[in-house]
């Protein structure tokens, strides 16, 4: 990193529209420091919009203060009240999600779930990656939920928000326990992950796959390891992700890929290569999202972008703006996850063309909800 870059103090200049006022949150800035946190996506903590009296530091004075910000990951154990959430967004392809962990150590700089961490009283920045909330009673809550007589079986999604196979799973094994509950009830599950730890559960996944109860997606954003290492620093490599697809598809698990987000000027040109490699390794379906920077994420991403790619940061930022009507975020359902304009259309056309070329999404397939049963119940005849 150049000396000039180390000394720069990046600040987002938000897009303004007629009649729109600037909120204090929009004046957010990254701390000025010559230290770069390797292994973390965010480099600072953004303000929590729910904490009115929150104090922030404009400048990190020295290495002692910086080390305070670079604490090791903390696991915050709690007893939750619910585990299954109703999803009302038409853009994400799920009706119900369950997340055994809140916050995510993977540290993906673009992650839309960062903003949710503010509801827990933390920042969407470093806190999101360092303070991981562990819902220790998640398997018990899931069992209670499935036992409720009003539950009409529908697919549940693991990792609708944060990755269920993030490093915390190595210690707590909550995802494993939840899958075992689902297998017992014949409850269908969809999974999305960026971590090869899912292979530890191949046995239960294989058993569920025989009953058409599981479908899994692996998220691949780039084969450029330098980009992957800075953009999503604690995820596994693309090579390992392909191994996951190959091994699980060979075991009979229906496997797909999520290409998200596609970022113009950084990784959108890799779509064909990702789809071909995934297809060659057994993936049969795919999905993608286009970059959008909602809430605090726009400040974090702006800081990350200009620090890591100073030669093209302005170009990338403006391409994102061009794809969201002059902003970097769009809240409109049906548009926000796809973008609009020439760049977004080009990505959509690539997706359609190469999906057809590599026979993605060609099969008629769905999870089986007909064999769900509660322990002690007799199987349904119709």
- Flag whether pLDDT at 19 surpasses 90: no
pLDDT in the model for residue 23: 38
Helix, strand and coil content of the chain, in percent to the nearest 5, comes to 35, 15, 50
Closest CA to 212 of 92, 380, 379, 372: 372
The pTM (predicted TM-score) of the whole model is: 0.86
**What is the mean pLDDT of the segment spanning 334-351?**
89
Q: Tell me: domain 30-357, CATH 3.20.20.60, correct? A: no
pLDDT in the model for residue 73: 94
Q: Are 161 and 83 in contact (CB under 8 A)?
A: no
Could you write out the DSSP letters of every residue in 253-270? -EEEEEEEEE-TTTTGGG
Whether the ω angle into residue 323 lies within 30 degrees of 0, i.e. cis, is no
- Flag whether pLDDT at 65 surpasses 70: no
- Flag whether pLDDT at 171 surpasses 90: yes
Average pLDDT of the chain, as a whole number: 86
What is the band of 15 on the pLDDT scale with cuts at 50, 70, 90? very low
Least confident of 92-101, 174-183, 199-208, 306-315: 92-101
Chain segment 232-250, per-residue pLDDT in tens: 999 999 999 999 999 999 9
DSSP assigned state of 197:
G
Residue written as token pair 């379906």: 285
What is the band of 92 on the pLDDT scale with cuts at 50, 70, 90? low
pLDDT in the model for residue 214: 98
Chain segment 126-140, per-residue pLDDT in tens: 999 999 999 999 999
Chain segment 353-379, per-residue pLDDT in tens: 999 999 999 989 999 999 999 998 765
pLDDT in the model for residue 33: 56
Q: Which residues pair with 77 in a beta bridge?
A: 134
Chain segment 195-225, per-residue pLDDT in tens: 999 999 999 999 999 999 999 999 999 999 9
Backbone angle region of 60, left / alpha / beta, with phi > 0 → left and psi within -120 to 50 → alpha: beta
What is the band of 89 on the pLDDT scale with cuts at 50, 70, 90? low
Rounded to 5 degrees, φ, ψ at 268 are: -65, -25
Whether the ω angle into residue 307 lies within 30 degrees of 0, i.e. cis, is no
Distance separating alpha carbons of residues 123 and 14, to the nearest angstrom: 20
State whether the Cα torsion 48-80-90-304 is positive or negative: positive
**What is the mean pLDDT of the segment spanning 291-299?**
95
DSSP assigned state of 124:
S
């Amino acid at each position: 990193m150049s000396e000039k870059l180390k000394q720069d103090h990046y600040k987002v200049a938000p897009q303004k529209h007629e009649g729109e006022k600037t909120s204090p949150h929009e004046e957010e800035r990254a701390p000025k420091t010559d230290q770069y946190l390797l292994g973390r996506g965010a480099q600072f903590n953004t303000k929590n919009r729910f904490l009115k009296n929150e104090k922030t530091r404009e400048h990190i004075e020295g290495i002692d203060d910086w080390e305070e910000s670079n604490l090791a990951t903390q696991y915050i154990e709690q007893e939750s009240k619910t585990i299954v959430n109703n999803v009302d967004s038409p853009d994400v392809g799920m009706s119900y999600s369950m997340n055994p962990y809140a916050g995510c150590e993977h540290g993906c700089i673009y992650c839309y779930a960062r903003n949710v961490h503010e509801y827990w009283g933390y920042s969407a920045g470093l806190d999101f990656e360092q303070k991981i909330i562990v819902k220790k009673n998640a398997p018990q809550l899931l069992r209670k939920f499935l036992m409720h007589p009003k539950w009409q079986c529908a697919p549940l999604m693991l990792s609708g928000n944060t990755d269920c196979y993030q490093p915390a799973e190595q210690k707590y094994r909550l995802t494993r326990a939840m899958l075992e509950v689902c297998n017992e009830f014949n409850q269908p599950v969809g999974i999305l992950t960026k971590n090869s730890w899912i292979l530890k559960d191949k046995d239960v996944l294989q058993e569920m796959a025989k009953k058409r109860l599981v479908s899994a997606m692996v998220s691949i954003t780039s084969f450029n390891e330098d980009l992957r290492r800075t953009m999503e620093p604690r995820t596994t490599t693309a090579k390992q992700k392909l191994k996951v697809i190959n091994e699980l598809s060979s075991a009979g698990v229906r496997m797909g890929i999520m290409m998200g987000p596609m970022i113009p000027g950084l990784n959108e040109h890799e779509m064909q290569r990702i789809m071909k490699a995934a297809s060659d390794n057994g993936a049969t379906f795919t999905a993608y999202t286009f970059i959008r920077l909602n809430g605090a994420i726009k400040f974090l991403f702006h800081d990350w972008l200009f620090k890591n790619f100073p030669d093209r940061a302005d170009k990338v930022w403006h391409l994102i703006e061009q794809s969201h009507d002059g902003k970097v975020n769009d809240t409109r359902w049906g548009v926000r996850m796809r973008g609009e304009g020439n760049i977004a259309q080009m990505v959509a056309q690539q997706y359609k063309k190469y999906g057809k070329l590599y026979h993605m999404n060609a099969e008629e397939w769905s999870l089986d909800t007909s064999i769900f049963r509660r322990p002690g119940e007799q199987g349904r005849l119709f």
